[in-house]
A = this chain, B = another copy of it.
């Protein structure tokens, strides 16, 4: 009977401690330090643990050979999105330590900017006045993309459209007109995310 090396009971705890350390310091420590953190007395044990976590998809190695967390590593924090079905009250799981919305939303930090949404011209796309748009300042956009354009020296968030007359900006609100640029259409960036804060 062949089975995986991943021992849920123990390794879950090791993973939890690693996640806790990473949540605090945003770094994966060396084997020697992990001995303290995980409570081992030998580096070889650490290596085996990390390799099991790697096999479980929680860790990977960078091109330089360093250990790095994978998306799976963050899944618990990001979404208890496997909605607990059975449990009525004791849904209370551990709080997401320090979540990683930044990492989740921003893939290219140096090219990413936040833009405050003004007006309700995109309300049917679920984009409200005051929302923060996560904008990636990339070279060019494709029709259908949500883009931030510069019109009359103002940011405008619209859907980029194209027809025989050329590029244009499509609002998501019947009370607003399609914008057809008189000159060239200046695209500031592509919207890759949206953030809203209540109240």
Q: Which residues of A contact B (CB under 8 A)?
A: 16-17, 19-20, 23, 25-30, 33, 62, 64, 66-69, 74, 76-81, 83-93, 95-116, 118, 123, 126-128, 131-132, 134-135, 137, 146, 150, 153-155, 186, 188, 191-198
For A16, give its contact among B19, B104, B110, B191 (CB under 8 Å): B110
Q: Which residue of B lies closest to A73 (CB)?
A: B26
Copies assembled: 2
Partner of A110, one of B19, B83, B104, B132: B19
- A52 CB to nearest B CB, Å: 18
Q: How far is the CA of A127 from the CA of B168 in the complex (A)?
A: 26
* B96 with A155: CB separation less than 8 A: no
A116 in contact with B80 (CB, 8 Å): yes
Which of B20, B150, B191 is within 8 Å of A83, CB to CB?
Answer: B150
Q: A17-B110, A20-B108, A78-B115 are in contact. List 13 more A-B contacts (CB 8 A).
A: A20-B110, A23-B109, A25-B66, A26-B103, A27-B67, A76-B106, A76-B113, A76-B134, A79-B132, A95-B111, A126-B127, A193-B196, A193-B198
A99 contacts B114, C-beta separation under 8 Å: yes
Known contacts A64-B30, A154-B85, A116 near B79 by CB under 8 Å: yes
CB <8 Å contact, B23 and A62 = no
Q: Is B150 a contact partner of A103 (Cβ separation < 8 A)? A: no
State A111–B23 Cα separation when bound (angstroms).
12
CB-based nearest B residue for A70:
B26
CB of A101 within 8 A of CB of B68, answer no
State how many angstroms separate the Cβ of A48 from the closest Cβ of chain B: 20
Whether A62 pairs with B27 at a CB distance below 8 angstroms is: yes
Cα distance, A94 to B62, chains bound together (Å): 24
